Amino acid sequence: MSEENNSAETKVQSQPKENSEKKSFLIGKKLLLSLAVILIIGIAFGLYGFNEMNTTGKVVLPGNNKNTSSGVPIELFVMSQCPYGTQAEDVVIPVINAFGDKVDFKLYFIASENENGFTSKHGLPEVNEDIRQACIQEKVSQKKFFDYLTCVNQDITIVENTWETCAEQSGINVSEITSCSTGKEGKALFSENIKRGQELAVGGSPTYYINNEKYTGGRDAQSLTRFLCSSIDVEVCSTLPPETEVNLFVVNDFACNECNADSIVLQLESLFPKLNLKKIDFTSAEGKEILDKFQAETVPFFYFDSSIEQHYNWENFKLYTEEVDGLHALNYTGTKFFNRTLKPNHIDLFVMSQCPFGTAAENNLKEVVEAIPDMTFNLYFIASEKEDGFVSKHGQVEVNEDIRQTCIVKYDRTKLLDYTACMNSDIANAEGNWKACAIKTGIDVPTIENCSTGEEGKQLFIDNIKEGNLLGIGSSPTFIVNGQILFRADSAEGIKQVFCSYNDLEGCDKTLSGTSSTNTASGSC
């Protein structure tokens, strides 16, 4: 699971299926960095990830449901056809019912408006349902609205065919909602509704604000209830199980700046408030014993003792752990591959050749290499092999360009980054541009063409993608410095800062473009 972000994309995602297999925090991509884990840790409870809050005044819709209640305001931001959004609705409804008039609930939608109308991630069907729900929320009681949501959320992908039946079953006047949702009234309600999320820069479905503050705790009903009970006294609060202490151990390389585990510990504390933390040096006898016991390859490495089994969140959380001898390790790939051979003065870049964030990383790397000429580097591609060829996220065109660049690495690697800089100016037209870029950078076209279209290129590519697959890298771009330290950076200066923190070469004193912030890349494929 993961949050969904808004765009004009029209593909409707299927409902998530239950899975009893062990799960990893590396959701969607095989490898995520320490900072990225903030967005998904605790996913079993719906902790999907958030944007920075831009605090503004509260928008109040006109009509029957104005926020005049003295209850604690609870705002849920969703895309109506996002499966994670509907799950959040299903979870929050009984919680809201349990607190009654002590809370004031409002559902907001994540969409955008332009001169042609509205856009939302799952296309026009989602916009239509958003508007219907905005009308229903405005015109009927909260109970009827919740009954409607519970009904349509059973299969939100076919809501166009089911909404009328669900409305009737919930005691809602279908004609009234049709008139509202297809006319000016519905558009006005929806236009006003989506402003709240835009003011707060909400992009992830679902996102909660409770009492005008972003809520970052667990998203199961019990966690939400416990949070509300900290400020509201209702009968359900007396039924909550007691908070138990949980012991967390972090094995880490404390000299590794990129291995900082504080952000992950903070998120675990949101799930286990009474968290007792012990830090262990990965070179100590205790650290080595634990890493060997779990056959771990990276740090930071997180594990719990049996105390976690007594916590009320354990049944949900245990799917994200692996048990050995009564200890429970978090399924997480760390930042440092401590058993890999050290490669001084070296950097590896893992990309997809048509990923815009990957091409930006290649351009940034070119600037760093030019500033630090004694640095060595390798370029690896993120793809997989199948019986009849290769699979890469952006299709066969990307595979073809990956293979061409792999051939250039063999035959004229000193010109590789000049070539990629040329290609990256219009990477979408790689098939039509590659020969011109090869000629411009002095690369022999027949040599690369013969290599990339024959068995030689195929074998070179098989060897190339093994590295990323071996390490479980699925996010473009990903850097590894000195063969061990994994990081992300969205500027040449950021890449240089990390590289030079582990290597002392001529050129490290130069100031390059961009900022020195790392692990905050603007995006990835």
pLDDT in tens, 413-457: 999 999 999 999 999 889 999 999 999 999 999 999 999 999 999
Round the average pLDDT of the chain to a whole number and report it: 86
What one-letter code names the amino acid at 320?
Y
Diameter of the chain by CA atoms?
78
**How high is the pLDDT of residue 70?**
72
Which residues 6+ apart lie within 8 Å of 117 measured at CB? Answer: 127
**How high is the pLDDT of residue 237?**
93
What CATH code is assigned to 346-502? 3.40.30.10
What CATH code is assigned to 246-337? 3.40.30
CB-count exposure of residue 349 (10 Å: 0-12, 13-18, 19+) = buried
Handedness of CA 4, 9, 12, 13 (dihedral sign): negative
pTM above 0.75, yes or no: no
**How high is the pLDDT of residue 241?**
85
CB-count exposure of residue 157 (10 Å: 0-12, 13-18, 19+) = middle
Nearest partner of 287 among 306, 302, 277, 308, judged by Cα:
302
Q: Is 519 helix (H, G, I), strand (E, B) or coil?
A: coil
**How high is the pLDDT of residue 515?**
75
**How high is the pLDDT of residue 11?**
29
Query: Which residues pair with residue 276 across a beta bridge?
Result: 247
Locate CATH 3.40.30.10 in the chain: 4-13+44-235, 346-502
Q: Which of the residues in the chain have pLDDT under 50?
A: 1-2, 7-68, 519-521
Which residues 6+ apart lie within 8 Å of 486 measured at CB? Answer: 31, 33, 258, 335, 336, 337, 478, 479, 480
Say whether the peptide bond before residue 206 is cis (omega within 30 degrees of 0). Answer: yes
Superfamily for 4-13+44-235? Glutaredoxin (3.40.30.10)
**How high is the pLDDT of residue 43?**
35
**How high is the pLDDT of residue 107?**
98
